[in-house]
């Protein structure tokens, strides 16, 4: 099939924009829990997984569209007293059992102001389905999709159980993946696999993508009997690039014996002992840890502004 010069140029420009920073495709690390290979050529999401709920246009508006005015320079710290456990407060739910994400929320000043409810989403089934439907889905869209689906599943649970009949909830979902030249490194299944992953990361540059999704569930209006449908306030992916130093076999074996790698994607924790391996990082440290603090602060601040 032939194409015109300008058609080819537009195609190349789109692909370049989609895979900015891409270092080339590669095989998925062969493990029982490996996520499917995600080739970088298309960032479109499968229709079956596009959220059926309306999105707030404040965060993705068409040119000239009229939207509520928000203070984009504001951070969550100035609105912290709006989130809490009192009846009049906005209730924040973390749809994750990750201790790192809880730690980051606590560091933001939200300790005691949120509850943890792991998402009921069957994540493994979703990963398999995504692999069947969209073998060309790029990693950034992949992790954002997982974050959205985690938060949406929790939001739908709230609605179905009637827990949002009198209160407003924010549901936060997130997902983090380690991307080594197109290979997605998940949590290791055993110490041998952890050693193999660290060997691959040794002396190399890799990317860490963290997807974030914030849903809102509001109480029913006076003339309605059921709560409003969940609204996807915003979803996005933040990326950081991490350069590992060259690790000796003794370094790798000693680190694996500490047990720290066993519950972490890529078999290392940057906030722990594994931080010794990092020569440099480009981007937000907290992206690698599991939740981008700065962008999340702005997102939640804007979401609270929309409630005014």
All structural domains of the chain with their residue ranges: 24-39+71-307
Fold type of domain 24-39+71-307:
Maf protein (3.90.950)
Is residue 78 scored above 60 in pLDDT? Answer: yes
Q: List, by residue number, the catalytic residues.
A: 175
Q: How confident is the model at residue 221 (pLDDT cuts 50, 70, 90)?
A: low
For all residues of the chain together, what is the average pLDDT? 79
For residues 18-42, give the mean pLDDT: 43
User: And the tokens for 156?
Assistant: 């739908």
Of residues 148 and 163, the one with the higher pLDDT is 148
Of residues 228 and 212, the one with the higher pLDDT is 212
Q: List beta partners, residue 234.
A: 214
Is residue 286 scored above 90 in pLDDT? Answer: yes
pTM value surpassing 0.95 = no
Is residue 199 scored above 90 in pLDDT? Answer: yes
For residues 19-40, give the mean pLDDT: 43
For residues 274-301, give the mean pLDDT: 97
Q: Could you give the residue ranges of the DSSP H alpha helices within the chain? A: 5-18, 99-105, 123-133, 139-161, 191-201, 249-257, 285-289, 293-307
User: And the tokens for 266?
Assistant: 């890529």
Percent of the residues in the chain that have a pLDDT greater than 70, as a whole number: 70
So what's the pLDDT on residue 135? 60
So what's the pLDDT on residue 53? 38
For residues 34-46, give the mean pLDDT: 45
């Amino acid at each position: 099939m032939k194409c015109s010069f300008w058609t080819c140029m537009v195609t190349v420009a789109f692909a370049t924009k989609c895979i900015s920073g891409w270092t080339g495709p590669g095989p998925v690390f062969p493990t029982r829990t490996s996520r499917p290979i995600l080739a970088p050529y298309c960032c479109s999401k499968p229709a079956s997984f596009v959220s059926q709920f309306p999105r707030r246009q404040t965060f993705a508006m068409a040119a000239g569209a009229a939207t509520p005015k928000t203070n984009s320079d504001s951070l969550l710290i100035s609105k912290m007293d709006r989130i809490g456990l009192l009846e009049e407060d906005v209730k924040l739910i973390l749809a994750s059992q990750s201790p790192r994400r809880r730690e980051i929320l606590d560091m933001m000043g939200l300790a005691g102001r949120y509850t943890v409810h792991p998402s009921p989403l069957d994540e493994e089934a979703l990963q398999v389905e995504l692999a069947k439907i969209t073998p060309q889905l790029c990693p950034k869209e992949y992790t954002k999709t997982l974050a959205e689906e985690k938060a949406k599943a929790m939001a739908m649970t709230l609605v179905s159980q009637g827990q949002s009949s009198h209160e407003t909830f924010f549901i936060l979902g997130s997902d983090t993946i380690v991307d080594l030249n197109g290979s997605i490194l998940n949590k290791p299944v055993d110490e041998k696999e952890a050693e193999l992953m660290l060997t691959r990361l040794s002396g190399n540059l890799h990317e860490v993508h963290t997807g974030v999704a914030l849903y809102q569930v509001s109480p029913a209006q006076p003339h309605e009997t059921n709560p409003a449908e969940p609204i996807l306030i915003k979803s996005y992916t933040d990326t950081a690039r991490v350069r590992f130093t060259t690790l000796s076999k003794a370094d790798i074996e000693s680190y694996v014996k500490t047990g720290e790698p066993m519950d972490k994607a890529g078999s290392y924790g940057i906030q722990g002992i594994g931080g010794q391996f990092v020569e440099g990082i480009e981007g937000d440290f907290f992206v690698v840890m599991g939740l981008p603090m700065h962008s999340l602060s702005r997102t939640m601040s804007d979401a609270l502004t929309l409630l005014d």
